[in-house]
Structure 1
Amino acid sequence: MGLVPQAGHAAQALDPQAPQSACTLAPPASKYDESPTRCVSATVALDRVPAVGETATATVILRSEVDIPRAELAIRLPQGLRITSPGFSTPRTRGLDTVATSALSLGKSGRTVTFTVAADVTGPAQIQADLTDLAAPAEERSAHATEEITVGTTAASSKDAAVGTRSAGRYTNGSLVPQRKAAQTPRTAAAPDEICATGTLNYATYDGVWHPGRRFAVSAVGQATPDSTTTTLATGVTSAADGSYALCFKHSGPPLARLWVQFSTRTNWWEVTDMTGDNPYVVAVAPLTDVPAGTTQAFGTTTPDALHMRAFDAFDVINNIYAMRGSGTQCWTAAETTNCSKLKARWAPGNTNGGYYNTDPAIRAAFLTDAMPDARHPVVHEAGHNLQHLLYNWYWPAGDCPSPHSLHRATGAMCAWTEGFANAVAGYAMGDGRYYYNVTDWMDLMQTGFQDTTQAPARSNPDNGDAVEGRIAGAMIALWRDVDGGPQKTLVNMDNYASDTFDEWFNVDRAKSGLSVGRKARDVLYEHTIDYRDVKRRESVVNGGLEDQGAGWSWTGGVVGTFGYYPAHSGRYYAWMGGNGVPNEDTLSQTVAVPAKGTSLLGFYLRINSAEPTAAKPDSLALQVIDGNQSATVYTWYNTDKVPSYAHRVIDLSRFAGHTVTLRFVSDEDQGEQTDFLLDDISLKTS
């Protein structure tokens, strides 16, 4: 299916207070990233990797295609590295990092800034440089650059890289949790053959605010003797309320030699891994030694290393989407109760290959750049794409998104729908009705009123209508807040009906789940410039998705079901006609009343797989319309028309207006290789 890029970054025209030039300096690092080409760029490098007690000179090279009279250069370092040069503010603590800033002006000739850093502790470290235009803090006029190193005890053990996804647990003051002897006091009224491990996981966001690490995988791990095999003794997830955990397991006899806990960014519901998709981020707390049975061991509050903090932030913010689900199960959809399909994200320190969601069946993951978790909304946006893909049973509408595209400009109907939904998920889940491109640059999704055409289109003056993703996002959030009582019913609806556009979702599919499409709902849309006040469509087909075990349809050959070999286009049920490789006829039919007035369009999704030689046409699927004693074959598809995925077919049946007819699909195979005709989501809409 290819790649579905993330639209949330792009902005082709900024507000007047943020003047924009046609910039070419810093295009996105990945061809799939929909972020705009930037007007400024930055690189950061060290002349050497310092060992503990040594210093190194850092050089930040700034380039620009615009004049920025008031810029701020922020240098972010983990605790254990510090700036020793003048010219920067006193460092401020943010989580396990410190940030020092310098005010400067930047012209088109560029600028080079150097400073000295001293290394005080060993371990992985990330040196970050961020440039911001203070007068116009738009994404195009900002830059982010990083350098990852590992500080060793000597020059030989120091490295110009920081690899791996595991780190040692730290306290929130940044110090490593040391190995220590276990508490020896038995628990009151405790089972003498049990040990419990308790504590809390915390992490810090970009602004330095500490948050509980919610629903992370947590394990108690130990060794019976110093030389024995490491064993996982208990598993669970941290509390969704406060990040706490209590893991208990049976143990009797001599004390455990070692016991520790570790946390992972991979669970049964979602995960954040490195860029390979193979390795989650893991924090292991230093072990307790000599752990007796009948005790509770308090591990206290643990935090990840600064280098991996963003992975934990990205994982935790997806909790906000999980709270929106309406499945009624622990999974994202009602069809799953165990072995849940996951939302997946890939991230790594310094990564530039990001800003999009990959729909490839072998991947199905959001790719995040290094700094994207700082703004949080981009993470939720990309996870929103993953959620829609999952709800649609891994179907994705045909793409029409230009590159770049933006929240405030009209694009295509499909692009506006898929991107608008992802933006709505971000704005609603984060509770602010906004989309943040980065930590300083954002758009209000909830602005209403039609565009002022005397002014240039801008984020505060967006285009109108349902081809604009920002308008769709605002309309959906308003529906969830003011009409639907939340997004849960929308997600259930999308789990059962796959819509290619917002128009189809609202005017055709929304009411199928009992969601209001009345005056109040249409007025909400009109406030967001989507005018469906006079749209009236009638659906003539009953159970077009075949979900109610084929109710409303007649068939032969057992063609309706939940077959495991092929997926449905949406939901679970579909019709599988043919597929025998021997002389055989299958049928699927329903009698419908075609309205007397209007344009009636029969739409359905058809997938054809065939092993027949391409030159021959022995296998066919015919669409017949039976009107009284008359039968007309409207269209015939053959094995030579095979397509590897579902394709939307639309046929005008307006000539049967005012008649009650029978829609009949008939498959016919000969003796030979099999051909599979798969049908789903059949609809006859009149407007």
Structure 2
Amino acid sequence: MTATQAVAAPAKCETRCVHAKAELDRAPSLGETARISFEVTSDVDLKGVRIDADVPGIARWSTVPDGMSARDVASSVPTDFEKVGRATTTTDLSAGQTVRFQGAVQAVATGTLLISVRAVAPVNPELNSDTFVAAATIGADGKSSYLGSRAETGATQQIPAGVASTRATPWLAPAVAPAAQQRKPHSDDPPRAQAAPVCATGSWNYRDHTGTFRTSANFVVEAWDDDNGPDDLLGVALTDGNGAFRLCFPNDDFSGGADVYLKFVAQNGSWGVEFDDDPYNFRTATMNDVGDGRTLPFGAQQPTDPRYMRAVEAFDQINSASDWTPSDCWDADDHDCRRVDFNWRWDYNPANNHYLPNSDEVHLRANAPDFRSIVVHELGHAVMDDVYNDNFPNANCPSPHFINGESGASCAWSEGFPDWYQAAVFNDHEYRGDGFTVELENVTWGEPNWANGDGVEGRVAGALLDLADAHNEPHWDARTENPYTEIWQTFLRFRSSTFAEFWRQRGQAGFDVGPGPLAALYQNTIDYGFREPLGDYQTRTRPAPLQNQPHRYRVDTSVAFWSVVAIRPPANADYDLRLYDDPELRQLLAVSVAGQGEVDFIAIDTNQGGRPAGDFYPEVTHVNGTGDYRIQFANGANLLRPEEKFTMGDDNVVVARDHCVEAGTKFTVTATPDNASQDAQLFVMSSDGSRPVIASRAQAAASSTGHGPGEAEQVEFTAPGPALDCYSVVLVNKAGNGTYTLSVS
């Protein structure tokens, strides 16, 4: 069948810029065919849009749409029945253009047919993609076949023999959901004296979108007596952390013992999965005429119909978030827990996944449970709304907005917190959506296609991740804290409208906002005055500073000697060094601009008559070139010996030694390398009346730099006086690895 194209005036790009739709002309019964029509519209110009139309294994393509090729693809998604017939094409779309396709499918088995049409662009797929699900029920004949799929109580069945279900998040300690809002047992049968109670045992399970069998915790289990009139509710319980249950109740039926069946209900006191206010529930087969004192082994149950599996998977993803969240309720200050209801259906196609603050409801698209990040991100909005007592921040998010793009400080906080929340729950540093994955943690300064600062939700999420996790990345992330204390307690105690406000409140709460935490923020391009500390002879290796984002440090002189801070750029790069007197970088003290491939340094004289010991603030700026540089601080505390050896390699930039002599004394200093790779440079710094107490390389009183690798450098200097004074001998390792012999005569 044919593919057609149409172009209309481009619409405004709102929550997404690509829109898919699909429709069956009829519901085929077993062996019959039906026409499938689908279309994809783009609001913007896009190249290389991939369009897939997946037909589950209970049907097959009888006519592939023109312009598409089809093949069978194995699938673990339960509603795909082990495979899909995937029709595929790739096309360019202009703004306002719609491409339309028609094909035909034949029903080869009975069941729920969920045909998925997906369009994904390679650029910004979180915005430039869409998935639409068209549903039909295939019956054995026309009477039992119909468009759509009716939501009735689902049946249950045993999971396959020999299969072991596992928890989806075994690293989280199981928590028990609140029992509030559960139905109370009721019966119209009078109590029977001395009737021994009956117990039902078993477990509740599901098969996730990867085909793995999982246990489902905190699902409501109800035991019912199947009566001729209204059924009696005998008892209610929750499945435990491993999905298991043991539910005991009186056997009061006078007709020969209760006829017991179980219902598994997707709703507890804190969350539920439903559609149109009806929580999903599943009914077992009935065990008739149960005798007193019996234990009824219902075994490992699961939904019979695969279309329900995503409902249980979403429920379990929310349960994982409940396990992680450090309180019985979403808000630790609540006495009556708020329940967040998730509206989902296998053929529900709202424009986007979203949370509605006014009703405490989340609406999920049909395939959202395949992406746990989506489900728990939306829950994160609900948790924030609950903790903030329904005073949800005015996010002012632009439409569209991106995880890696600038969206404004308020939007970045209200979206970045849920991004972090889902990552923390699943111990996963990625956000996985429909057609895209975004790395949240291993991105820093200079990352392509990423904006910088606290107006970017992905930067906010990454900062929260780096504050808490033990997976520390270069170059500034070295922080590991308990997320349940500093982060979560600040979140609970204050209402924040931006990440900057959250950070101020964190400090007000008495939590650490010093250099360590600031470094984790800086790793994620959020700079709240970070000045990286440099200790005595500590070397830092850092990437090239960006053009408009210098690297800033703090050094502390503590002794009455000369001290030196130095940077060594790559041979093909030029980075300059500045030194300030204040952390706000308003009082410039000195600048070193040695040029490409040269070591820049600034020396500070804290001897008597020099600069008092204290804090100083170096800044490294970019001039040209790329590549890592090394910065080192030599907090001088040693006098020059007649001869001393120094092992210096890639991580060693500078050595400083004081030499104190009377006025008029002439001395010669020699630096001799022990191999041909070493390139020494030698300087004498003086702060006599004609020279400053804080001086750059260019302001050295004497120097020797030109002999090159493997050659000695030598400086002769006569102390100018007028009295005893201390001078700094500065040895720079421009290149190479080995031992220098530094001597004075």
TM category, shorter = 0.5 to 0.7
Q: Do the aligned partners of 2:40 and 2:119 also contact (CA within 8 Å) in 1? A: no
2:36 to 52, 59, 76: 59
Show the counterpart of 1:217: 220
Change (3 A) 1:128 1:293: farther
Report how far residue 346 of structure 1 moved. Answer: 1.6
Show the counterpart of 2:125: 138
Change (3 A) 1:357 1:84: closer
Change (3 A) 1:449 1:141: closer
Q: In the TM superposition, what whole-angstrom CA distance separates every residue of 1:15-71 from its partner, at most 9, and x where no partner exists?
A: xxxxxxx9998988xx6xx3x212xx54433342133x3322242535466787795
1:89 to 72, 83, 104: 72
Amino acid in the other structure paired with 2:273 = V
Q: In the TM superposition, what whole-angstrom CA distance separates every residue of 1:81-101 from its partner, at most 9, and x where no partner exists?
A: 566679431654533532324
Change (3 A) 1:238 1:156: same
Give the gaps of 5 or more residues in structure 1.
Answer: 1-21, 175-190, 536-597, 599-687
Change (3 A) 1:125 1:231: farther
Report how far residue 519 of structure 1 moved. Answer: 1.8
Query: Larger Rg: 1 or 2?
Result: 2
Q: TM-score, normalised by structure 2?
A: 0.58
Report how far residue 228 of structure 1 moved. Answer: 3.8
Change (3 A) 1:196 1:514: farther
Q: Do the aligned partners of 1:84 and 1:117 also contact (CA within 8 Å) in 2? A: yes
Show the counterpart of 2:279: 280
Q: Do the aligned partners of 1:471 and 1:530 also contact (CA within 8 Å) in 2? A: yes
Change (3 A) 1:144 1:533: same
Q: Does 2:313 match 1:336?
A: no
Q: Does 2:493 match 1:496?
A: yes
| Greater length-normalized contact order (CA 8 Å, ≥ 6 residues apart) | 1
Show the counterpart of 1:159: 146
Change (3 A) 1:515 1:270: farther
Q: In the TM superposition, what whole-angstrom CA distance separates every residue of 1:142-198 from its partner, at most 9, and x where no partner exists?
A: 442222223445423432222325322244469xxxxxxxxxxxxxxxx97121112
Show the counterpart of 2:399: 403
Show the counterpart of 2:247: 247
Report how far residue 404 of structure 1 moved. Answer: 0.9
Report how far residue 230 of structure 1 moved. Answer: 0.6
Q: Do the aligned partners of 1:96 and 1:173 also contact (CA within 8 Å) in 2? A: no
Show the counterpart of 1:120: 109
Report how far residue 234 of structure 1 moved. Answer: 1.3
Find the aligned partners of 2:60 and 2:213 in 1 and give their Cα distance: 22
Amino acid in the other structure paired with 1:249 = F
Report how far residue 110 of structure 1 moved. Answer: 4.2
Show the counterpart of 2:346: 349
Change (3 A) 1:153 1:418: same
Give the gaps of 5 or more residues in structure 2.
Answer: 1-6, 65-69, 93-97, 162-193, 470-478, 532-583, 585-745
Report how far residue 111 of structure 1 moved. Answer: 6.1
Show the counterpart of 1:232: 233
Report how far residue 229 of structure 1 moved. Answer: 2.5
SS in 1 for 2:279: coil
Q: Does 2:436 match 1:441?
A: yes
Q: Does 2:511 match 1:528?
A: no
SS in 2 for 1:256: coil
1:423 to 402, 415, 419: 419
Show the counterpart of 1:268: 269
Percent identity of paired positions between Structure 1 and Structure 2: 26
Show the counterpart of 2:463: 475
Find the aligned partners of 1:71 and 1:365 in 2 and give their Cα distance: 33
SS in 2 for 1:511: helix
Change (3 A) 1:341 1:131: same
Report how far residue 476 of structure 1 moved. Answer: 0.6
SS in 2 for 1:323: helix
Q: In the TM superposition, what whole-angstrom CA distance separates every residue of 1:522-569 from its partner, at most 9, and x where no partner exists?
A: 11111111112359xxxxxxxxxxxxxxxxxxxxxxxxxxxxxxxxxx
Find the aligned partners of 1:303 and 1:23 in 2 and give their Cα distance: 48
Q: Do the aligned partners of 2:518 and 2:530 also contact (CA within 8 Å) in 1? A: no
Q: Do the aligned partners of 2:272 and 2:315 also contact (CA within 8 Å) in 1? A: yes
Amino acid in the other structure paired with 1:126 = L
Show the counterpart of 1:659: none
SS in 1 for 2:143: coil
Change (3 A) 1:513 1:70: closer
Q: TM-score, normalised by structure 1?
A: 0.62
Change (3 A) 1:243 1:97: farther
SS in 1 for 2:259: strand
Q: Do the aligned partners of 2:225 and 2:258 also contact (CA within 8 Å) in 1? A: yes
Amino acid in the other structure paired with 1:61 = F
Report how far residue 320 of structure 1 moved. Answer: 2.4
Show the counterpart of 1:73: 52
Show the counterpart of 2:293: 294
Show the counterpart of 1:168: 155
RMSD, aligned α-carbons: 3.3
Q: Do the aligned partners of 2:219 and 2:268 also contact (CA within 8 Å) in 1? A: yes
Show the counterpart of 2:307: 307
Report how far residue 251 of structure 1 moved. Answer: 1.6
Q: In the TM superposition, what whole-angstrom CA distance separates every residue of 1:435-466 from its partner, at most 9, and x where no partner exists?
A: 1221x4111010242135xxxx52xxx11111
Find the aligned partners of 1:58 and 1:243 in 2 and give their Cα distance: 42
